[in-house]
A and B are shown apart, each in its own frame.
Chain A
Amino acid sequence: NAGVTQTPKFRILKIGQSMTLQCTQDMNHNYMYWYRQDPGMGLKLIYYSVGAGITDKGEVPNGYNVSRSTTEDFPLRLELAAPSQTSVYFCASSQPGQGGYEQYFGPGTRLTVT
């Protein structure tokens, strides 16, 4: 049981490039999330999903897109990378009604845009 896995661990992008951050969970959780963590700012929710085919915006969705075609996978897409998207990105999952709604986090992807 690997939990929540994210790839890559590190990435450097040039301004204007695009990339997809991968997230997979093997706990059969319906709910999945993407956060970004900036120094001194805590975690901000980018997008979330309550099940396959259903996604919704969080607090800071601009510049990102998501899809949820399966229960296990929740990729995050950056179309035109900007320096403001330099951050650490965390994926998380949870299952309603289990464990007091605990969210389980992946190890993170550190992204630098130059």
Chain B
Amino acid sequence: GDSVTQMEGPVTLSEEAFLTINCTYTATGYPSLFWYVQYPGEGLQLLLKATKADDKGSNKGFEATYRKETTSFHLEKGSVQVSDSAVYFCALRGLGGGNKLTFGTGTQLKVEL
């Protein structure tokens, strides 16, 4: 079945540092890939997405490129802020019906001054 593997956290960075959160997936065919963000005490919000190989999703300074050859969708940001502290989830939408998502376990990011 479909699965998503993310790097474990927590990840602690200083403000303005470079961020990478690794995400790899296993799925049949060509899934759509997503990054969701969860701020403390809130539900998940879509951060960015990519629907086909080599697509780059971007939003709020975050980027991720859909790499079919390495089955990866790593999240990057050039300069993190304290306000980016949250839990980040990688997810895929596979070929099955119902628009179901398979999530990774989440990576907690803490950004310090």
**Nearest chain A CB to B35's CB is how many angstroms away?**
12
Q: How far is the CB of B64 from chain A (nearest CB, A)?
A: 14
Please indicate the chain A residues that have their CB under 8 angstroms from the CB of B93 in the complex. 101
Q: Size range of the interface on A? A: 20 to 34
Knowing that A108-B42, A108-B43 touch, tell me 7 more A-B residue pairs with CB under 8 angstroms. Answer: A31-B99, A42-B89, A44-B103, A45-B101, A102-B46, A103-B44, A103-B46
Q: How many residues of B contact A (CB 8 A)?
A: 22
Nearest A residue to B44 via CB reads: A105
Contact with A along B20-48 (1 / 0, CB 8 A): 00000000000010100000011111100
A106 to B43, CA, bound (A): 6
Give the chain B neighbours of A103 by CB distance below 8 A: 44, 46, 99, 101
- A102 contacts across to B, CB distance below 8 A: 34, 46, 49
